[in-house]
Amino acid sequence: MRRTKFYKRISVLLISVLFIVSFLSIFYTQEISAEKGFQDIGLRVYNGTEIVALAAEPAGTLTSPLRIAKNGVISGIVLVDPGDANDSGVRIQTNSGIKALRKYVPLPTAYVSISIWAKRVFGTWYEVYVTVTVRENTSSGPPIVGVTVQGTWSGGYGGSVSGTTNANGQVGWKTSWVGSGSRVYFTINKITIGSNEYNLGGTLSASIKAG
């Protein structure tokens, strides 16, 4: 008896559409310039080398033992430990020891833009990308290099990220795969230059729906 073998020919069609941009937009651009947690009320002092601005506590906050009245408003002068990165060079004696007056650091006016988009990776699966751009003085000004940006993903994807702007003033991240229809949010939580933090003055956030 002759045995006949039957084979099934299986055709596998691999469809992999990579990097198809489904949506692209700059959702948010905001100007920021003030240093978070401090204000400049016009106090200046010569520290033996240069004239520096002194940092005052935010309006309505009085925790410093060193205070000044100006235009009918009492403000606290911020004190730090001697040798602090923002030490003005001026010292005073307090009940807790010698302290330094903190200088106010005028941060460069920054324009922060968030660009967010989704790319289809396979079938109904997407990756979401975000790029934060920091420029000086205007939204088309020179890039600010070395700014640390901290942010949070939420919605259809979660997690915290941190990075430093490159020579183009940009830093970016991407998610893992998310399903079609997922709305993913990205929020900037903190922007710093060195040890000095910008006052964001509100929520810097953008979102996109994949698919």
Give a yes or no: residue 84 inside a domain.
Answer: yes
7: in domain: no
* Structure confidence at residue 5 (pLDDT): 40
Q: Does 57 share its domain with 120?
A: no
Domain count, the chain: 2
Range of the domain at 170: 20-34+107-209
The torsion region of residue 96 among left (phi > 0), alpha (psi -120 to 50) and beta comes to: alpha
123 and 178 both lie in a single domain: yes
Could you give phi then psi for residue 141, rounded to 5 degrees? -75, 180
Angular region, 71: left φ>0, alpha ψ -120 to 50, beta rest: left
Assess whether 28 and 124 both reside in one domain: yes
As to burial, measured by CB atoms within 10 angstroms (0-12 exposed, 13-18 middle, 19+ buried), residue 177 is middle
In this prediction, residue 21 carries a pLDDT of 43
In a domain, 13, yes or no: no
Indicate whether 177 and 120 sit together in one domain: yes
Distance CA 101, CA 86 (A): 9
Same domain, 79 and 168: no
User: Does 154 lie in the same domain as 58?
Assistant: no
In a domain, 132, yes or no: yes
| Residue 6: inside a domain | no
On whether the pTM is more than 0.85, the answer is no
Residues 149 and 188 in one domain: yes
From first to last of its 211 residues, what are the pLDDT tens digits of the chain? 444 443 333 233 322 333 344 444 445 678 888 889 999 999 999 999 999 999 999 988 899 999 999 889 999 999 999 999 999 999 999 999 999 999 999 898 999 999 999 999 999 999 999 999 999 988 889 999 999 999 999 999 999 999 999 999 999 999 999 999 999 999 999 999 998 999 988 889 999 999 8
Q: Considering 81, 102, 123, which residue would you say is the last residue of a domain?
A: 102
Structure tokens at 120: 């289809």
Secondary structure of 111-139 as H, E, C letters = EEEEEEEEEEEECCEEEEEEEEEEEECCC
Indicate whether 29 and 115 sit together in one domain: yes
